[in-house]
Amino acid sequence: DAGVTQSPTHLIKTRGQHVTLRCSPISGHKSVSWYQQVLGQGPQFIFQYYEKEERGRGNFPDRFSARQFPNYSSELNVNALLLGDSALYLCASSSRTSGASTDTQYFGPGTRLTVL
């Protein structure tokens, strides 16, 4: 079975531009989460989506937005890019969506964004 897929794998943008990153979850998984990982740090939670609704949001500015489609794939959008947005953007999918605790999440290969 295919794992989580993400596109593109690498991206170079300049300050002020916007970017759209895409993610397809594992077949049968309905929950998608987005994380940002800067060099030397662990991944930081950005968003969680289930059934096209935002279910969780991390401490990121409004320049970051996302959405989920009926087929459970997802897009992460970042506007007005800053140098500090350079990072590995990871998408994770999980099968369980309800309940207060966090189910096992499986990560895609990530999109490496460089902002010049």
Partner 1 sequence: RKEVEQDPGPFNVPEGATVAFNCTYSNSASQSFFWYRQDCRKEPKLLMSVYSSGNEDGRFTAQLNRASQYISLLIRDSKLSDSATYLCAVDGGFQKLVFGTGTRLLVSP
Q: Which residues bind partner 1 (CB under 8 A)?
A: 31, 33, 35, 40-45, 48, 50, 55-56, 58, 88, 90, 92, 94, 96-97, 100-110, 112
User: CA quadruple 38, 60, 116, 93: dihedral positive or negative?
Assistant: positive
Q: CB-wise, 20 or 97, nearer to partner 1?
A: 97
DSSP 8-state assignment for residue 65: E
Nearest approach in angstroms of CB 42 to partner 1 is 3
Please, what's the largest Cα pairwise distance for the chain?
Answer: 41
Shortest distance, position 46 Cβ to partner 1, whole Å: 10
Tell me the C-alpha distance between 61 and 82, whole Å. 12
